[in-house]
Amino acid sequence: MSRSRSFGTIHTQVLLYFLLAGLLPVVLLYLLTTTFTRNTLETTEYRKIEILTGEVSRKISIIMQNATDDLKALAANHVLFESIGNQDARDANLRRVHDYYDDFTDVTLYETNGSVVASTTYQFYETVEHTDWFDQAVAGRVAITRPHKMIGRPGLFLNVYFPVMGPDGKTSRVICAGIAFDSVWNSLDGTQLGDSGYYVLLDGYGNVLSHPNKNMILEKFTDIDAATWRNESKGFARDEIGRKFMYAVRRLSRGETKVGEPWALVGLLPAEEGLWVLRRQQSLQLNVGLIAILVTFLLGIRLSKMLARPIADAASAARKVREGRLDARIRESGTNELRDLACAFNEMVEELDAHRNHVKSLVDHQTEKLRRSEVNLRAHAAELERSNNELESFAYVASHDLQEPLRKVITFGDRLRTNYKEQLDDRGVDYLSRMQNASRRMQTLIQDLLAYSRISTNEICFENVNLDQVLQDLLSDLEVPISESGARIEWSNLPIIEGDALQMRQLFQNLLSNALKFKKPGVSQVITIRGRKEEFPDSESFYVLTVEDNGTGFDPKYSTRIFDVFQRLNSHAEYEGTGIGLAICRKIVVRHGGSIRATSSPEGGAKFIVKLPAARTAAPEEADPSLVTAESRYA
């Protein structure tokens, strides 16, 4: 989480802005200089072509002029008018004259009817009499042919037809001189168009007059798309296989060339080469641009770190603080703003630390107090337990030892009554009787007390106890009192529990006795005993036993007090009893890990509800609250 990078981080954003800042000027500069350089280059190339075109036309003019002048001189030679001698002699004469004129590849002298008078070559293919230029020459005008090829000879040739005037002022013969057209071109060889650029001279019909590839001579010009160069005098065009060329066209007017239709000079430079300077400049710009971007990028990294690191440090420190390490501090460095931020943060943490220390000391103080109270409490509890144990032993011992003198009082009382009955008057007998009754009550009291204390002192012997069986045994023992009171006992669902059989019997006996005792006059007594199991999915299960009667009941406000030792809600006169029975009941239940409570309604009837754990758990050896109460009472 802490190191995830997204557009959201300062780092990334700063980098992006810096990239943009670096890229934008580079791109702008690139586009601008590209356009500028390209225009410059193009203009330069076009200029070159124009200069060259001028050169070509000038050259052609000069050659034509020279040829015409030479022919004029040649025509003035008297040799040409002599028809004497045979063919060979005439040819020899002509060759001699021709030797003076280097520019002419060959010279032929015609009669005006087209038959050859003499020739230096005889390499012509055609008879001339049907050609336009011969007709022109016969008519007295100098005529120049368009460039043409000759059978068996490479290159192009021009022919100049020149009329030779006879003495009568009419054309008497025609001289035709051949000029190698290539000489025009060869003189321009020094003018290079780049390394692989070239010039093409075209006639008015788009036929190639000059081309680096000699096979193209007099073929249609197809190096670049004709539609392009005919419409635009300069620009870019593609050839048949898709290569791109820069081209420029300059047309030569007829006046300039004096030959046929207007010619065109096309300069072609492979775009690759033409724009080489541009490419180099572009690559240079790209490199510089890349370096610029790189530098900007690095600066961006530096700056973003400068900005982001303190913030990241602050975040890290804040996390430490959150984890409670209040010693975390931010380095107070960098720009003023960042230093301010760091100071504020550090101050905040210091304050937080001070607060925490204060709170901690408070808590420590309270904890110490609490600890001391706990120690006191433990001491008290131990003291209490000790005194409780003492009390129980005392109770046991006392009740046990108290019985002996009491028995003697009763025994001697009986003997007194039996042996000295006659010596006693009625009042004496009455006193004796009262004394014995009191003694017997005291005996009962002591026995109950003893029983009560035994429950605390005796070990519980846990075993499976069938409560149904326990109750049935008990009922058979209590058959007499039950039949005397006329009570009806009903029971159901009594479970088998793990517990002490004797104590369980005691529990039932005490509860039944209690129920039987508080009979409502004039009502047939019914006592219902039921058992059920309460199960809870997440905690232990309980057996719930209820003992319900329809007797006099009790005031609900005593529902807890009735389980205290010696608590009697009624006088001895109404109901006999020691006030220990229910206390014993509670003690048994508590020792089995359960609880007991009693409810009563104002209409009468009491209900005792005993809850016992279904699974055996060791009864907590806790201080018996009743005893505590007793103790406190004794105290």
Partner 1 sequence: MMTLLLIGGCQRSSTPEPIQSAPERVVRLYNWADYFDEKILEEFSARTGIRYELETYDTSDECFARIKSDPAACDVFVLEDTVISAMRELRLVRRIHREKLPGIRHLDPGFLDLEFDPGNLYSVPYTWGTTLLAYRKDKVDPKPTSWTALFDEKYSGQVMMMDDSQESFAITLTTLGFPMNSSVPRELESARSKLIEQASLVTGYSDFSTILDALIDGTCWVAPMYSGDAADAAEAHPQIGYVIPEEGATMWIDNFAIPRDAPNVDEAHLFINFMLDPEISGRNAGSIWYASPNLSARAHTSEELLQDEQIYPAPEVLAKCGFLKKLDQPRLQAQNEAWAEVRRSPSLEARAAIRSTSPQ
* Interaction of residue 122 with partner 1, rule CB under 8 A: yes
Looking at 56-64, 94-102, 223-231, 324-332, which segment touches partner 1 (CB under 8 A)? 223-231
63 touches 184 (CB < 8 A): yes
* Interaction of residue 87 with partner 1, rule CB under 8 A: yes
HSE-up of residue 563 (Cα within 13 Å, Cβ side): 23
Residue with tokens 């026995």: 447
Enumerate helices (H) and strands (E) in the chain, giving the number of each.
Answer: 15, 18
Report the residue number, 115 or 524, with the smaller CB distance to partner 1: 115
N-terminal to C-terminal alpha carbon distance within the chain: 68
Question: x-or-dash pattern for partner 1, window 237-276, by CB under 8 A?
Answer: ------------------------xx--------------
* Interaction of residue 204 with partner 1, rule CB under 8 A: yes
What is the nearest approach in angstroms of partner 1 to the Cβ of residue 160?
15
HEC string of 206-272 equals: CEEEECCCHHHCCCECCCCCHHHHHHCCEEEEECCCCCEEEEEEEEECHHHHCCCCCEEEEEEEEHH
* Interaction of residue 604 with partner 1, rule CB under 8 A: no
Report the residue number, 145 or 600, with the smaller CB distance to partner 1: 145
Written as one letter, the residue type at 28 is L
Report the residue number, 90 or 587, with the smaller CB distance to partner 1: 90
How would you classify the pairing of strands 208-210 and 263-270? Answer: unpaired
Alpha helix stretches (DSSP H) within 247-335: 254-257, 271-274, 276-322
Query: Alpha-carbon dihedral of residues 299, 305, 306, 311, nearest 10 degrees?
Result: 150
* Interaction of residue 84 with partner 1, rule CB under 8 A: no
* Interaction of residue 151 with partner 1, rule CB under 8 A: yes
432 touches 421 (CB < 8 A): no
**Phi, psi angles (nearest 5°) of residue 518:** -95, 65
* Interaction of residue 82 with partner 1, rule CB under 8 A: no
What is the nearest approach in angstroms of partner 1 to the Cβ of residue 63?
21
What is the nearest approach in angstroms of partner 1 to the Cβ of residue 247?
16
149 touches 217 (CB < 8 A): yes
Report the residue number, 90 or 517, with the smaller CB distance to partner 1: 90
* Interaction of residue 155 with partner 1, rule CB under 8 A: no
* Interaction of residue 115 with partner 1, rule CB under 8 A: yes
What is the nearest approach in angstroms of partner 1 to the Cβ of residue 249?
12
Among 64, 67, 71, 128, binds partner 1 (CB under 8 A): 128
Among 227, 480, 573, 635, binds partner 1 (CB under 8 A): 227
Helix (H, G, I), strand (E, B) or coil at 535: coil
Report the residue number, 81 or 566, with the smaller CB distance to partner 1: 81
Which residues neighbour 546 within 8 Å (Cβ) at sequence distance 6 or greater? 528, 529, 530, 607, 608, 609, 610
Among 63, 138, 164, 217, binds partner 1 (CB under 8 A): 217
- Contacts with partner 1, residue ranges (CB under 8 A): 86-87, 111, 115-119, 121-133, 145, 148-153, 204-207, 217-220, 226-227, 230, 261-262
